[in-house]
Amino acid sequence: MIFPPECKVVGHAFGKPVGDRVYFLSEYLVRRVRDGFELLRVTPDPDGTGMMRNILHEEVLATAEETVMFSERVNQHNRAGMVRRALSTGKRCTIFGAMDEHMNFVLDPDLSLFETVHVYDIKPPRANLSVTIESLEEEGLLGELNCIFDHHVRDISRIDADVFPCRAGGFEKTLDMDPMEGGERVAGCLTGRQLYQECYGNNFTSIDICPFSSVSQEPFIARCCRKERSGVGIYNGYFGAVVHWGASPKTILDAVCEMITLWRQKQ
């Protein structure tokens, strides 16, 4: 796959206002031809002077038959999203225009070249970690990491339990609002178990719903209500990051970036 990290190396050759010369930073050109567009790799003269240079070498990477101009403007910082869109066209080369009119392309799209980060969360209520990562990815704030995210979101409403953690999830009987009688099947985490034991004793069956406890692949990011678990490191034998239950988008962004940086240093 060829997918330039920055649009500044991609130029367009829709005309020749200064003849057969290109901008000195150009590495690729999108050239308009009779049947559409083709993609070229070019080598400007490194010994030349000025901003426009003679071309020492040019090579057609994708013909007009293999190339398509994507129909919509995209956020070019959402790199995984661009690869997915390129795959959807069925063409070897997809050219993208940006909101600011810059241009980039994906040639021979391949998502397997992106790092997979596993996201562990639960719902209801809102799977805050998972939803926030999707939003950060769409906004392009995670694009430079060249990652894709595999979301493991457990629906705890499907659990066969008598009691759930709190009313916020829409459950009828919860630890935060109802007195316990003993013998209940309680869907909760370490915090829920501690609360039950302190208030009602040990006559209950615990069903663990903590996303942190579900981690089975690395690298990962998981949500947990225990603040002391927050950070980046090895948890239950897997490397990843843990963020607190109400973590802000900035905290989640920083955790993903730090975790991926340290993960790649380990490889």
Domain at 252, CATH number: 3.40.50
Q: What's the pLDDT score for residue 203?
A: 97
| 43 and 129 inside one domain | no
Average pLDDT, the chain: 95
| 253 and 179 inside one domain | no
Helix intervals (H) in the chain: 79-89, 128-139, 190-200, 249-266
| 150 and 255 inside one domain | yes
For residue 182, give Cα distances in angstroms to 163, 189, 196, 216: 11, 17, 9, 32
| 85 and 148 inside one domain | no
Domain of 181? 160-208
Q: For 211-240, b where at least 16 C-beta lie within 10 A, e where not — what string?
A: bbebbeebbbbbbbbeeebbebeebeeebb
| 100 and 54 inside one domain | yes
Q: Does pLDDT of 98 surpass 90? A: no
Q: Does pLDDT of 20 surpass 90? A: no
Cis-peptide into 125, omega within 30 deg: yes
Q: Does pLDDT of 99 surpass 80? A: no
| 148 and 167 inside one domain | no
Q: Which two tokens stand for residue 17?
A: 């206002």
243, 223 in Cβ contact below 8 A? yes
Residue 1 in domain = no
The mean pLDDT value for 133-162 works out to 97
| 137 and 84 inside one domain | no
Q: Could you report the per-residue pLDDT of 193-226, keeping only the tens digit for each?
A: 999 999 999 999 999 999 999 999 999 999 999 9
For residue 144, give Cα distances in angstroms to 92, 110, 189, 241: 23, 16, 35, 18
| Contacts of 177 by beta carbon, 8 Å cutoff, 6+ apart | 166, 167
d(CA 186, CA 174): 9
| 93 and 121 inside one domain | no
Out of 14-23, 37-46, 152-161, which region has the weakest mean confidence (pLDDT)?
14-23
Q: What's the pLDDT score for residue 116?
A: 98
| 196 and 223 inside one domain | no
Q: What's the pLDDT score for residue 101?
A: 81
Q: What is the number of structural domains in the chain?
A: 3
Residue 224 in domain = yes
Q: Does pLDDT of 234 surpass 90? A: yes
